[in-house]
Amino acid sequence: MYLLYNQLSPGIDPLSPDNVLLIGAGLLTGIPALGSGRCDIAAKSPITGAIGDSNIGGFFAPEMRMAGFDHLVIKGKAEKPVYLLIHDGEIEIVDASHLWGKDTFETQALIRSDHGDEEIKSLVIGNAGENLVRFANVRTGMKNAAGRTGMGCVMGSKNLKAVAARGTMDIKFAHPEQLLDYCKEMIDMVMKNRYSRAASKWGTLVIYSTTNTTGLIRTRNFQLNQLDQGYELEPEEMDKYTIGMSGCFGCPVSCRHRYTLKEGAFAPFFAEGPEYTSLGAFGTMVDCKKMETVLVANHLVNMYGLDTLETGGLIAWAMELYEKGIITEKITNGLKLEWGNEEVLFELIRQITYREGFGNILADGFKIAIEKIGQESKYYAIQVKDMSNLHSDERPTPSLALGIATSTRGADHLRGRPAIDLYGLPEDFLEEIYGAPMSSDYRSYEGKSRMVWWQELLYAVTDSLGTCKFQTVFLAVHAPKWKEFSKLIYLVSGMQYTTSQLMEIGERIYTIERMFNNREGFSRKDDALPERYFKEATPIGLPRVRDRKINKEKFEKMLDEYYTLHGWDDNGVPTKETIQKLGIEKEPSHII
């Protein structure tokens, strides 16, 4: 975020050569624990115009570090398709003409074949990125995706097909023997919690069992909050398809299904996933009730290089517009966008990828699609800052609602979501974690602004360290956080940080993100929920979540409290005192 803020002038077109693409590994990337294979990809987002940033796992980031680089700053635009080859302190620009038009799986295989090295790891774009679909993602391996904010579109705009890395250099650790012992402690700590053990068997699909039963899932876009007769989307259904589990670098959990599909129009194929997000995008939101539908759609978006969440969100929105007569077959070119129609779902994924037919309208995301379809359609778009929300329904959960409204990236479940609020934990225990009294009722507004603020700082530090959010306080209370991060940083680097210092680092990261967005014209008006959250109550679900909607007055009060915790003014702009306190009053300080 520091590099992004320093490299970009305000107001540039995200698809122009003036946008920069940043790839960064973390301080702990490469340690044998905590899923330390993660890196960040950042630029100005072509879908929101705000912070573009997406975190990706797998094995690329450690390979890049072993090739001698922690961060890449990529500027300009190549005259023809190219890819970058990073190897032991050197970077080469390689012709990628033969890769253009290939999908994400073919591209990685061809790069390995070209160099006769099966250990090369690559970040690649697919056909969607080449065609400048604004929510195209960046992919590595069979499953890993930097999905959100359209970083694959930025790569496509630069004619950059891939970034490949192969390294044989050391990653230096200050205290390697102690680090190895402590990493074993961290693995034991992670695997003792119930979520990790469940995820090792079912993956993130395990979340569906609870959220759908409760009534916290968007169905038919936003019309219902529970999928009736959704038994075939339960995680046990994967037993029919799974051939094993796999994980990222340094991960003891291995939360990814490896599966095969042997029958059907798209079979046979081998794939990995699906995540809980894909289950919602291609299951609950579009009212498709077969796991096989989700598995095919998951494979298609991974192959083409599309953000799962944005693809499903836009298609679900279009289906509701079709149902209400706001769009007809005239604009859809004959497609009947009926709920549960898997053939239409697969066809729209293809059309979006290649910018054909009605898919070409959806390929630009909500903002441009609304301009083309008409303002009447905006009410039905479940988005924040023009980015689609997860398939969760936050009307019964004010803390989660505040998190998606205030996220710097747009609607977001990975920037500040206090998921443990759903657990009904003892209030004295919550106070121990968050440092202040708050309600343990997830329907309450009391103290929830602090939850979101605290989680934002933790996630910012987690991402900058290069470790996995699922192995910190996200869905597991007894997981590594500030104390454990402090010791790991010392053992890796020799640097010593207290909890308060780490929290200040998180605050600095998030405030720089906020400053970037402010500079691009974002303010309090953009920290808003779709109107349906305030106007329409949840119709079904368990009694405790039924007939719930967000109270506008209480939401605005939460927002005020949230700004105060960050040291921002009433309009969501960091104050002069806060900027000075964080030592960033001179930014942008330099250009590389």
- Amino acid, single-letter form, for residue 325: G
Torsion over CA of 275, 280, 283 and 287, rounded to 10 degrees? 180
480 vs 458: CA distance, rounded Å: 10
Measured distance CA(253)–CA(199) in Å, rounded: 7
Q: Does the model's pTM come out above 0.85?
A: yes
The gap from C-alpha 259 to its chain's centroid, in whole angstroms, comes to: 23
Task: Give which of 107, 527, 469, 153 is closest to 307, Cα–Cα.
Answer: 153
Residue 165 three-state SS = strand
| In 247-290, beta strands by DSSP E | 256-261, 269-272
User: String of b and e for 168-198 (b: at least 16 CB within 10 Å)?
Assistant: eeebebeeeeebeebbeebbebbeebebbeb
Distance CA 129, CA 301 (A): 12
Listing DSSP states for 522-543 in one string gives --GGGS---THHHH----SSST
Cis peptide bond upstream of 176, omega within 30: no
Domains of the chain listed by start with CATH number = 2-166 (3.60.9.10), 215-388 (1.10.569.10), 398-581 (1.10.599.10)
The number of beta carbons lying within 10 Å of the beta carbon of residue 428 is 9
Residue 92: phi and psi, rounded to 5, are -120, 140
> What are the backbone angles phi and psi of residue 235, rounded to the nearest 5°?
-60, -30
Looking at residue 592, what is its pLDDT? Answer: 56
Instruction: Read off the amino acid at residue 262.
Output: K
Q: What is the predicted pLDDT for the residue at 591?
A: 64
Cis amide leading into 588 (omega within 30): yes
CA torsion 515-519-520-522 (nearest 10°) is 60
| pLDDT at residue 515, as a whole number | 97
444 three-state secondary structure: coil
- What tokens appear for 11 in the block? 């107001």
CA 298 to CA 481: how far, in whole Å? 32
Position 589 scores a pLDDT of: 77
3-class SS at 366?
Answer: helix
Identify whether the C-beta of residue 562 lies closer than 8 Å to the C-beta of residue 406: yes
Whether the CB-CB separation of 572 and 517 falls below 8 Å is answered with no
Tokens at 140, concatenated: 């590595």
Q: Which contiguous run of DSSP H or E holds residue 458?
A: helix 448-465
Q: Which residues on adjacent β-strands are paired with residue 313?
A: none
CA–CA dist 157, 74 (Å, integer)? 12
Q: Which of 381, 382, 420, 416 is nearest to 402 (CA)?
A: 416
Q: What does the pLDDT read at residue 134? A: 98
Give the pLDDT confidence of 367-421 residue by residue, as tens digits: 999 999 999 999 999 999 999 999 999 999 999 999 999 999 999 999 999 999 9
From first to last of the 592 residues of the chain, give the pLDDT tens digit. Answer: 999 999 998 999 999 999 999 999 999 999 999 999 999 999 999 999 999 999 999 999 999 999 999 999 999 999 999 999 999 999 999 999 999 999 999 999 999 999 999 999 999 999 999 999 999 999 999 999 999 999 999 999 999 999 999 999 999 999 999 999 999 999 999 999 999 999 999 999 999 999 999 999 999 999 999 999 999 999 999 999 999 999 999 999 999 999 999 998 899 999 999 999 999 999 999 999 999 999 999 999 999 999 999 999 999 999 999 999 999 999 999 999 999 999 999 999 999 999 999 999 999 999 999 999 999 999 999 999 999 999 999 999 999 999 999 999 999 999 999 999 999 999 999 999 999 999 999 999 999 999 999 999 999 999 999 999 999 999 999 999 999 999 999 999 999 999 999 999 999 999 999 999 999 999 999 999 999 999 999 999 999 999 999 999 999 999 999 999 999 999 999 999 999 999 999 888 766 5
Residue 231: count of CB within 10 angstroms of its CB: 12
Q: What is the pLDDT of residue 518?
A: 97
- pLDDT the model gives residue 587: 83
Residue 486, number of CB atoms within 10 A of its CB? 17
Backbone angles phi, psi at 31, to 5 degrees: -75, 155
Beta bridge partners of 93: 84
The per-residue pLDDT for 385 is 98
Specify the pLDDT at position 48: 98
Annotate 24-49 with three-state secondary structure: EECCCCCCCCCCCCCEEEEEECCCCC
Q: How far apart are CA 169 and CA 67, in angstroms?
A: 6
